């Protein structure tokens, strides 16, 4: 393959991401986990599916970071997942140590890579990775908005009984209960959502979107969502490797956009071969702006809780 992607964490999100990348023949993949044999076993199992599924990507699994050298993109999913009743924020300290250590190993071997952070609490883990890597914001950002928007798109499509392919939506802000669904910018085949659905139904969709992660956690009992999260990661990886210039909501280190500075917050970003090539500033009304500021405050609080 022309490209190489590393995925750290061979758990639910990581392994499913690797499977999706390989099956789409986007790149060869190195899959690393502290549980080295588990990563090796999953990689071998996936390679044994290749003759049947018909893909030529190579997958190498294990615990050794040398296999990650020269990666175009590195995806960090290593960490602990939420358990029922546990907030994303409870994960802060534990995952800070894990993500910091992982990023250090990755950037040593792939100094030019693009880092996509997935581990929760997402926005704070992006900051941990930024500090450790010293990367410019073009090459370090987080996955959350594509997932949150995908959930919103699905809920809209189900409510209106239309194809998911016809539905677009944006969700801004931090990846937590304060995220900001933007129904004004949601469309069904170009028609704005508020023209199609009553305000109380829209608010119900917003609320279900905000609580989308928790809904899955509550049902699974153990672990958290991974099919939609891995699909969202692969959307971003494909946009980068194929230089699509696709506009996707990502957690980006803002430098004055949306009136926010030195903070990772979910905003629409143009993804291409250089990573985040542009931050797209949507016009927000007073209520949306206030919600985004509240969400940014929640991220700031978490980041300030990080021991430096």
Between helices 92-109 and 122-133, what is the axis angle to 10°?
40
Residue with tokens 């980006």: 252
Question: Least distance in Å: CB of 295 to ligand TXD?
Answer: 15
Are the CB atoms for 99 and 125 separated by under 8 Å?
A: yes
Specify the stretch interacting with ligand TXD by CB under 6 A; choose among 54-62, 73-81, 194-202, 237-245.
73-81
Residue 74, CA distances (Å) to 62, 77, 111, 222, 302 in order: 15, 10, 11, 26, 24
Backbone angles phi, psi at 243, to 5 degrees: 50, 50
Classified as helix, coil or strand, 242 is coil
Q: What track of x and - describes contact with ligand TXD for positions 6 through 45 (by CB under 6 A)? A: --xxxxxxx-----------------xxxx----------
- Residue 212: partners with Cβ closer than 8 Å, 6 or more residues away: 148, 151, 225
Specify the stretch interacting with ligand TXD by CB under 6 A; choose among 50-58, 64-72, 219-227, 235-243.
219-227
Is 78 a binding residue for ligand TXD by CB under 6 A? The answer is yes
Residue 296, CA distances (Å) to 124, 172, 250, 258, 262 in order: 11, 10, 14, 10, 11
Q: Which of 20, 175, 210, 270 is catalytic?
A: 175
Is 123 a binding residue for ligand TXD by CB under 6 A? The answer is no
E strands, 17-166, are 28-32, 59-62, 73-76, 114-117, 140-142
Q: What track of x and - describes contact with ligand TXD for positions 241 through 280 (by CB under 6 A)? A: ----------------------------------------
Count each helix (H run) and each strand (E run) in the chain, helices first.
9, 14
What residues numbered 82-101 form the site for ligand TXD, per CB under 6 A?
A: 82, 91, 95, 98, 101
Question: Least distance in Å: CB of 230 to ligand TXD?
Answer: 8
Are the CB atoms for 285 and 182 separated by under 8 Å?
A: no
Question: Least distance in Å: CB of 53 to ligand TXD?
Answer: 22
Active-site annotation holds for 12: no
Rounded to 5°, the CA angle 127-133-138 comes to 75
Question: Least distance in Å: CB of 130 to ligand TXD?
Answer: 16
State which of residues 30, 74, 225, 284 lies at the interface with ligand TXD (CB under 6 A).
225
Question: Least distance in Å: CB of 125 to ligand TXD?
Answer: 8
Specify the stretch interacting with ligand TXD by CB under 6 A; choose among 42-50, 140-148, 154-162, 285-293.
140-148
Is 81 a binding residue for ligand TXD by CB under 6 A? The answer is yes
Residue (30 or 32) nearer to ligand TXD, CB: 32
Considering Cα of 283, then 284, then 289, then 291, what sign does the dihedral take?
A: negative
Interface with ligand TXD (CB under 6 A)? 8-14, 32-35, 77-82, 91, 95, 98, 101-102, 118-120, 122, 143-144, 147, 175, 223-226, 229
Known catalytic residues are: 175
């Amino acid at each position: 393959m022309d490209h190489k992607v590393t995925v750290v964490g061979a758990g639910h999100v990581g392994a499913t991401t690797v499977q999706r990348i390989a099956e789409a023949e986007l790149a060869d993949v190195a899959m690393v986990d502290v549980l080295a044999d588990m990563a090796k076993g999953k990689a071998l199992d996936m390679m044994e599916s290749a003759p049947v599924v018909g893909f030529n990507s190579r997958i190498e699994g294990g615990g050794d970071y040398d296999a990650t050298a020269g990666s175009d993109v590195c995806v960090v999913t290593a960490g602990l997942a939420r358990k029922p009743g546990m907030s994303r924020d409870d994960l802060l300290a534990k995952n800070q140590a894990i993500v910091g250590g992982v990023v250090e190993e990755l950037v040593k071997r792939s100094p030019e890579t693009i880092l996509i952070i997935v581990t929760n609490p997402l926005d704070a883990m992006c900051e941990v990775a930024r500090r450790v890597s010293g990367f410019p914001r073009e090459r370090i950002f987080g996955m959350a908005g594509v997932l949150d928007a995908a959930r919103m798109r699905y809920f809209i499509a189900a409510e209106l009984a239309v194809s998911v392919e016809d539905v677009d939506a944006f969700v801004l802000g931090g990846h937590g209960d304060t995220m900001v669904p933007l129904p004004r910018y949601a469309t069904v085949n170009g028609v704005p959502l508020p023209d199609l659905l009553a305000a109380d139904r829209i608010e119900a969709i917003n609320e279900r979107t905000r609580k989308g992660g928790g809904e899955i956690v509550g049902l699974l009992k153990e672990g958290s969502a991974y099919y939609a999260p891995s699909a969202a990661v692969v959307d971003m990886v494909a946009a980068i490797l194929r230089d699509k210039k696709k506009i996707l909501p990502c957690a980006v280190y803002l430098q004055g956009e949306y009136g926010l500075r030195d903070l990772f917050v979910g905003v629409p970003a143009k993804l291409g071969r250089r990573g985040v090539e542009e931050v797209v500033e949507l016009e927000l009304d007073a209520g949306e702006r206030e919600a985004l500021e509240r969400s940014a405050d929640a991220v700031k609080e978490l980041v300030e809780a990080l021991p430096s």
